[in-house]
Amino acid sequence: MPHSATAPPRRNKFSLSPLSLRGRFLLAASALVLIISLCYGIVAVIGYVISFDKNTYQVMRGESNLFFTLAQWRDNKLVIDRPDNLKLNFPTLVYIYDEHGRLLWQLRDVPEIRRSIAKSWLQTNNFYEIDASNKVSVAAIGNNHKAQKKIAELDSDDTFTHSVAVSRYDATATLPALTIVVVDSIPQELQHSELVWSWFNYVLAANFLLVIPLLWLAARWSLKPIGQLSAELKALESGQRESLGDSPPKELKGLVSNLNLLLKSERKRSSRYHTTLSDLTHSLKTPLAVLQSTLRSLRGAKPMPIEEAEPLMLEQISRISQQVGYYLHRASLQAENNLLNREIHAVAPLIDGLCSALNKVYQNKGVDITVDLSPELTFCGNRDDLVEVMGNVLDNACKYCLEFIHISARQDDSTLTLTIDDDGPGIPAARHDMIFQRGHRVDTLRPGQGIGLSLAREIVENYAGEIRVSRSHWGGARMEIIFADQMV
């Protein structure tokens, strides 16, 4: 029967590989520099235009003052006594009106522009603009060959803007009240615009040529710790070092700490697997040797009766089964405690649930359990581990207390400590270690198998912790359960 193969997903030939952090930094910073440069350029151009208008008005106002100074009233008409060597800053059109708006004198008349001067403009000192066609602007420019060449390069349908300055002068002893209108014959569009935009382009290019190398150096320096971390990981992989550096930047401290914790956990887990296998091998030697000896005795010169051999062999087989089950359970605990499988659990609800269940079990005894736990306490690990440990320790406290049990806790960055105090007879100091031995019971009068506390200690040790035994303030036993490796 033919097998249908699933075709591999087609890769988009236009897809881009993920950018490196340095590439992302440079791209984002370059875009930011471009945006800021454009905004700065726009603001600079706007500022230049505003400054240009202001300076233009001041210069044209100065020319108005010059013409007023040169003005004379002779034979009931206005005469401008202009020296032959007088050169104006601006190639201008000048119109002088009396207080009634009647034109008294003009310098270079362009009728279309003169007719664009509104009568209302003559009433106040101000600055205005006149829009003129290409043909009118050419006439206003006159013999200015440079401006003529520039305007010839533009579209003949374009409209150009000419600046207009209106200045009013009061009557004097020799002159009547006058209004002088100065029109700049060169359109605003032709005045220094190319220079402004060329400067803007030069500044933008200089920004890229100077800033981008600096950004590259900044990115190289800023991302150096990540490159160093990558090198350390390669050294870890090749076995040249056992952990990552302990002084990373603040932003990488959590990552490095958790990676070191993971490495430490994996090394411990590997060591425990090795120890578990060694212990299992050692524990099976004796029952296997007994089985081997028994089998030989069945075929010896004086064979052992089957009635004697059978219970002996069954006992050793049962012992082997128990040992295998025990060490498999230890291995499963170690696997479940893998750092990658851990989760965050609130402690208080789990303890409340255990206390509720134990109150029902020991209802006839009347145990009073008080819980003093912050709702912010958390346990990083397997939920069942915490339940198993606290269940065994609390059950032991309920068995031996007279009436009262108190549960408290404290937590720091990497450790969770749970404390259980009871008012029972307590545990003699000489027997503190004995109570954690598998199958050992200090008090043989109460029911139990002597396994719970041993199992609890094994679980806690998987978290690099311990269980400490001391005397409570009531005189009974105090159990301090310390879970380490709690850093998230």
Highest mean pLDDT among 4-18, 148-162, 461-475: 461-475
b/e map of 309-324 (b: 16 or more CB within 10 Å)?
Answer: beeebeebeebbeebe
pLDDT for residue 75 is more than 60: yes
15-24, 102-111, 195-204, 246-255: range with lowest mean pLDDT: 15-24
Confidence band for 322, pLDDT divided at 50, 70 and 90: confident
What tens digit of pLDDT does each residue of 425-452 get?
A: 988 888 888 888 765 555 544 444 456 7
Per-residue pLDDT tens digits for 332-369: 666 666 655 678 999 999 999 889 888 888 888 889 99
Two structure tokens written together for 370: 């008080």
Confidence (pLDDT) at 6: 46
User: What pLDDT, on a 0 to 100 scale, did the predictor assign at position 13?
Assistant: 47
- Cβ-in-10-Å burial (0-12, 13-18, 19+) of 215 comes to buried
By the 8 A CB rule, do 352 and 371 touch?
A: yes
Cα separation, 133 vs 110, whole angstroms: 12
- The answer, yes or no, to whether residue 462 has pLDDT greater than 70, is yes
pLDDT at res. 25: 77
Please check whether residue 347 is in contact with residue 416, taking contact to mean a CB–CB distance below 8 angstroms: yes
Q: What is the CA radius of gyration of the chain?
A: 49
CA distances from 409 to 337, 347, 398, 458, 477 (A): 22, 10, 18, 20, 16
Among 90-94, 233-237, 260-264, 449-453, where is mean pLDDT lowest? 449-453
pLDDT digits (tens, 9 = 90+) for 20-64: 677 777 787 778 877 877 777 777 767 666 666 677 788 888 889
Q: Helices 193-222 & 224-237, crossing angle to 10 degrees?
A: 30
pLDDT of 193 over the 60 cut:
no
* Angular region, 51: left φ>0, alpha ψ -120 to 50, beta rest: alpha
Amino acid 27: pLDDT: 80
Place of tokens 């009061």: 170
**Distance linking the first and last C-alpha atoms of the chain:** 52
Average pLDDT, the chain: 81
pLDDT, tens digit, 9 for 90 and up, residues 389-420: 998 899 889 999 999 999 999 998 889 999 99
| Cα of 250 vs its chain's centroid, Å | 13
Query: How far from 412 is each of 331, 351, 376, CA to CA, in Å?
Result: 29, 19, 12
Q: For every residue of 360-428, which 3-state class applies, written as one string?
A: HHCCCCCCEEEEECCCCCEEEECHHHHHHHHHHHHHHHHHHCCCEEEEEEEECCCCEEEEEEECCCCCC
Q: What is the pLDDT of residue 1?
A: 43
| Class of residue 379 by CB neighbours under 10 A (exposed 0-12, middle 13-18, buried 19+) | buried
Higher pLDDT, 182 or 253: 182
Inter-residue contact 57 to 126 (CB < 8 Å): no
Task: With 0.75 as the threshold, say if the pTM is over it.
Answer: no
